[in-house]
Amino acid sequence: DGGITQSPKYLFRKEGQNVTLSCEQNLNHDAMYWYRQDPGQGLRLIYYSQIVNDFQKGDIAEGYSVSREKKESFPLTVTSAQKNPTAFYLCASSRCRVGQPQHFGDGTRLSIL
């Protein structure tokens, strides 16, 4: 089945540590996205990429970094500069271009030890 795979499902980070969240899709979608979800706040866009080797900041990019070396993969690194990283992180993808309906993975829940 085609879909979006996020791993791990749960992730724990120590203070001052960088962590990388994985997102892989086999839908042959061009665009990929990372969102952060906090209770009662909906989805906030962190970064998005419309094509390999290109990405743009979303609304809350500070403290995060991404790469898009392959069409199928869009990993997100939560750096030590992100002071409040505890959240549910969702990866999504869409055909062709930004603005098309997005399909989501099942998320990674990041917690601070």
Partner 1 sequence: GQQLNQSPQSMFIQEGEDVSMNCTSSSIFNTWLWYKQDPGEGPVLLIALYKAGELTSNGRLTAQFGITRKDSFLNISASIPSDVGIYFCAGKETSGSRLTFGEGTQLTVNP
Q: Does 52 bind partner 1 (CB under 8 A)?
A: no
- Considering only residues 72 to 101 of the shown chain, the ones binding partner 1 according to CB under 8 A are 90, 92, 97-99, 101
**Cβ of residue 43: shortest distance to partner 1, in angstroms?**
4
DSSP per-residue letters across the chain: ---EEEE-SEEEE-TT--EEEEEEE-S--SEEEEEEE-TTS-EEEEEEEEETTEEEE-SS-TTEEE--SBTTB--EEE-TT-S---EEEEEEEESSSTTSPPEE---EEEEE-
> Which one of the spans 12-20, 40-48, 63-71, 73-81 is the region binding partner 1 (CB under 8 A)?
40-48
Q: Does 43 bind partner 1 (CB under 8 A)?
A: yes
Binding site for partner 1 (CB under 8 A): 4, 6, 40-43, 45, 48, 59, 90, 92, 97-99, 101-107, 109
